[in-house]
Structure 1
Amino acid sequence: MKKILSLVAGIVLTGALTACGNGTDEKVIKVGASPVPHAEILEQVKPLLEEKGYELEVVEFTDYILPNKSLEEGEIDANYFQHVPYLNAQIAEHGYDFVNAGGVHIEPIGVYSKNYSSLEELPEGATIIMSSSVADHGRILSLLEEKGLIKLADGVEKISATIDDVVENPKNLEFVADIEAPLLTKAYENNEGDAVLINANFALDAGLDPANDPIAVESPDNNPYVNLIAVKKGDESSEKIKALVEVLQSEEIQSFISENYSGAVIPAAK
């Protein structure tokens, strides 16, 4: 009987220690992020979260696949690198039970060219290089349609448009969409196409100036493309995730984004 009581006491004690461990972990927020600008922004967040009693750990990823895998496997509490259309596409493809905990900023896509200073100068049959990420195709094609280079089929939802939805292409532009987003800057530097459409975060990371180097830039009024904090469903209501989002959406951090990136990264409206 004494042995049984001792075993029960040991189990209770172990449970208490585990609970204490979880309590400590609840004060640590582990976020996966792209190096630029996401991780840079999170560095500014650290002291503000410390004031709220939380320690922020930033795990950097240089691709678009691993941050969601890491979140799914519980290696991080949240990730900060993607916009809503990409998140929705990943959920549909992999069955992730993720939600948007809050938007932070917008990164307008720019059109970069080594040989031409405007879209109007692009020649007949110009090669347009774009990301292999289908979630970005709608915004890229919408940008080209807005600039008068192509026309999409009537009734097509712009956010989900594909190359197959292009019904008018006066310059017979050739679209190349087999390059992963992080490698687009290499394609531009190697002058592999007449124009390359690059996400601002990768442009910044490569030392480009997304506010001045592109020959055309996407309008910032693209709310579906707000970069967000993604978490597992249910975690958006946890105190530490609410604290993280609150700080990221604070006037101090939104001002940092405006002042530090000069239009290359734009604070998102709450």
Structure 2
Amino acid sequence: MKKLIAALATVAAFSAQAAEELKVAATAVPHAEILEFVKPKLAEQGVELEIKIFTDYVQPNIQVAEKRLDANFFQHQPYLDEFNKGKGTDLVSVTGVHIEPFGAYSSKHKSLDELPDGANVVIPNDATNGGRALLLLAKAGLITLKEGAGITATPKDIADNPKHIKVRELEAATLPRVLTQVDLALINTNYALEAKLNPIQDALVIEGSDSPYVNILVARPDNKDSAAMQKLVEVLHSHDVLQFMAEKYAGAVVPVY
């Protein structure tokens, strides 16, 4: 009997030791919700997923770079490239997961045609999402950008502004909170969803499904190929997750696999 108990204790100790941990940073919606959905599936494969929710776009990268966390899930490649360049980090994309079409919202106007002359417009203040917002305004015909202005365009790159709109840059997370104070706010979909906005129904203009801003799982070069990370990739690309996104977000979150 003692031998049996000892054997069972050894098996339990080995199982506990074999369990892998993965600490992943995410913004609350939809990233943390998606991770919560896959958490039980990872547990079945021996990976304990710990999800850390952040409200900003800086600390998730800092903490992964400093090895306080293993990975993060909140950003697209253009933002990551700009972050690495500006902060001297070398974070890398592990895999693409979904697109969140970027939209422009208003609580005062029902269409872009209703925008008054001199309308107050707010966009994210980080380089890539600010440029993304300006590209969407240009696509909608509200402004024209200087030739060569791309994803890092700033308000200084506006060449033609027939409605004389006034563009201000604010932190991305604050944009839903000022929606009632401005004529138009260009809001990242994760923050729009948190604010109970439906991008498909509420946005006056929205990116198409051909958006290049794929949301990615990000890690470091030293752990991107770890067994636990690859198991996370596998479950994120599963049919169950695809179905979960389709049912929960109704087109506001589009899988890329």
Normalising by the residue count of structure 1, what TM-score does the alignment of the two structures yield?
A: 0.85
**TM-fit CA distance, 1:107:** 1.3
Q: Within 5 Å, which residues of 2 pair with 1:31-50?
A: 31-50=24-43
Aligned residue among 252, 258, 263 for 2:246: 258
Q: Does 1:155 align with 2:155?
A: no
Aligned residue among 175, 185, 196 for 1:184: 175
Q: Within 5 Å, which residues of 2 pair with 1:17-56?
A: 24=17, 27-56=20-49
- CA 1:167 to 1:49, structure 2 compared with 1: closer, same or farther past 3 Å? same
- The aligned residue for residue 173 of structure 1 is 165
- The aligned residue for residue 210 of structure 2 is 221
Is the contact made by 1:185 and 1:198 (CA closer than 8 Å) also made in structure 2? Answer: yes
Is the contact made by 2:143 and 2:161 (CA closer than 8 Å) also made in structure 1? Answer: yes
Aligned length in residues? 244
Is the contact made by 1:26 and 1:240 (CA closer than 8 Å) also made in structure 2? Answer: no
- The aligned residue for residue 73 of structure 1 is 66
What letter is aligned with 2:71?
A: A
Aligned residue among 192, 195, 199 for 2:188: 199
**TM-fit CA distance, 1:200:** 1.1
**TM-fit CA distance, 1:130:** 0.8
Q: Which runs of 5+ in 2 are unaligned?
A: 1-12
CA distance in 2, matches of 1:30, 1:53: 14
Is the contact made by 1:220 and 1:266 (CA closer than 8 Å) also made in structure 2? Answer: yes
Aligned identity (percent) is 43
Is the contact made by 2:120 and 2:165 (CA closer than 8 Å) also made in structure 1? Answer: yes
Q: What per-residue deviation string (whole Å, max 9, x for no partner) do you get for residues 102-137 of structure 1?
A: 111111122111211111111111111111112112
What letter is aligned with 2:220?
A: K
SS of residue matched to 1:235: coil
CA distance in 1, matches of 2:136, 2:17: 47
What letter is aligned with 2:66?
A: E
Normalising by the residue count of structure 2, what TM-score does the alignment of the two structures yield?
A: 0.90
- The aligned residue for residue 218 of structure 2 is 230
Aligned residue among 199, 203, 209 for 1:210: 199
- The aligned residue for residue 7 of structure 2 is none
Q: Which runs of 5+ in 1 are unaligned?
A: 1-19
CA distance in 2, matches of 1:94, 1:26: 33
Q: What per-residue deviation string (whole Å, max 9, x for no partner) do you get for residues 181-204 of structure 1?
A: 11111101xx22110111111111
CA distance in 2, matches of 1:154, 1:75: 42
- The aligned residue for residue 9 of structure 1 is none
- CA 1:112 to 1:25, structure 2 compared with 1: closer, same or farther past 3 Å? farther
- CA 1:252 to 1:66, structure 2 compared with 1: closer, same or farther past 3 Å? same
Q: What per-residue deviation string (whole Å, max 9, x for no partner) do you get for residues 41-75 of structure 1?
A: 00111122123221111111111111111112211
Q: What per-residue deviation string (whole Å, max 9, x for no partner) do you get for residues 69-113 of structure 1?
A: 111221111001111111111101111121000111111122111
- Flag as ranges the 4+ runs of structure 1 deviating above 4 A: none
CA distance in 2, matches of 1:69, 1:154: 34
CA distance in 1, matches of 2:208, 2:214: 12
CA RMSD of aligned residues (A): 1.8
- The aligned residue for residue 9 of structure 2 is none
CA distance in 2, matches of 1:85, 1:50: 32
CA distance in 1, matches of 2:68, 2:154: 34
